């Protein structure tokens, strides 16, 4: 399996805590990132779907990334989401990341207009890369059509990699279909294919995938890291399967009710910190009856 894939490993799609006035809580967030790295994550994919990123302004997103770097977390371990609906704001967020020496970003396609053609998706990504105009930039495409309603098709990936060699180095596939991820691995040698669903990392790794960017890693980072590091070690096969079982159980638990609210509820209970349950509308914390049922297992 190639070690040249980049990014490669376990990356947490980090939750974003908010303060009582619903602003991003920098202190809680940076402490959480440091804890995740200590538990074995290779990096933090902040300001994505799980991080409620599209509920935050450009300035708020920039402030959170600045606080994370200022807290001592190495820029090369951060994968911020910079893709938004407006092309110029995507450019601004991407340039800002680069100004902090954060060179790898996760980029959604433009997602407000539906039925966008492949030519339109390609043109949007190409315009961003040309305007940013920084050879350091590395982009992980973000394929999550159930949210964006704008799939990133194989022809678009091929055109982007041909037009901008070395820039589009990975894809986070959150569509939940292992066959699609396997097809990406086969079609695009050297492209880091990252599972967006925790239970699918192991089967993807076995087919040449690069790892994961996942939500439940907020809770089971150490198990995911163990699976990633030992999945080829026959002497530890039983331990890998046990860790995988815990990963699947945690994912199922977090998916019983609204996933992001559930993850925050579970993390709040683990840390004994109710502040973690807060969310920015339109997302809401779990109702009390659901929270009680979730924590009861």
Q: Which of 184, 234, 210 is nearest to 42 (CA)?
A: 210
- Does 142 participate in catalysis according to the annotation? yes
Selecting among 94, 125, 142, 169, the annotated active-site residue is 142
Helix (H, G, I), strand (E, B), or coil: what is residue 106? strand
Kindly name the residue from 94, 172, 265, 277 that is annotated as catalytic.
Answer: 172
Asked about 112 being catalytic, the answer comes back as yes
| Active site (annotated) includes residue 50 | no
Residues 6+ apart with CB under 8 A from 174: 49, 142, 143, 144, 146, 147, 196, 197
Cα–chain center distance at 135:
23
Angle between helical axes of 237-254 and 217-230 (0-180°, round to 10): 160
> Of residues 19, 112, 232, 292, which has the active-site annotation?
112
Which H or E run contains 225? helix 217-230
Quick one: CA torsion of 261, 11, 125, 120, rounded to 10 degrees?
-50
Contacts of residue 112, defined as CB under 8 A and 6 or more positions apart, other chains included, come to: 85
Active-site residue list = 49, 112, 142, 172
């Amino acid at each position: 399996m190639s070690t040249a894939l980049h990014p490669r490993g376990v990356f947490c799609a980090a939750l974003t805590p908010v303060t009582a006035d619903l602003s991003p809580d920098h202190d809680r967030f940076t402490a959480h990132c440091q804890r995740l790295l200590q538990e074995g994550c290779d990096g933090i994919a902040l300001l994505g779907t799980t991080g409620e990123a599209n509920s935050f302004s450009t300035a708020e997103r920039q402030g959170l990334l600045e606080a994370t770097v200022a807290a001592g977390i190495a820029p090369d371990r951060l994968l911020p989401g910079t893709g938004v609906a407006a092309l110029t704001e995507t450019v601004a967020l991407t340039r800002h990341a680069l100004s902090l020496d954060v060179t790898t970003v996760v980029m959604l396609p433009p997602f407000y207009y539906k039925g966008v053609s492949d030519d339109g998706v390609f043109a949007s990504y190409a315009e961003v890369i040309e305007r940013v105009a920084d050879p350091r930039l590395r982009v992980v495409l973000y394929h999550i059509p159930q949210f964006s309603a704008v799939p990133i098709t194989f022809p678009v990936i091929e055109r982007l990699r041909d037009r901008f060699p070395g820039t589009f180095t990975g894809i986070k596939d959150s569509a939940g279909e292992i066959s699609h991820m396997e097809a990406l691995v086969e079609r695009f040698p050297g492209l880091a294919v990252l599972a967006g669903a925790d239970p699918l990392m192991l089967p993807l790794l076995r087919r040449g995938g690069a790892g994961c960017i996942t939500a439940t890693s907020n809770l089971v980072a150490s198990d995911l890291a163990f699976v990633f590091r030992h999945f080829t070690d026959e002497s530890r096969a039983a331990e890998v399967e046990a860790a995988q079982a815990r990963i699947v159980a945690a994912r199922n638990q977090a998916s019983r009710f609204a996933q992001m609210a559930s993850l925050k509820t579970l993390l709040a209970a683990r840390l004994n910190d109710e502040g973690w349950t807060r969310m920015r509308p339109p997302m809401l914390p779990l109702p009390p009856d659901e929270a009680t049922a979730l924590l009861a297992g």
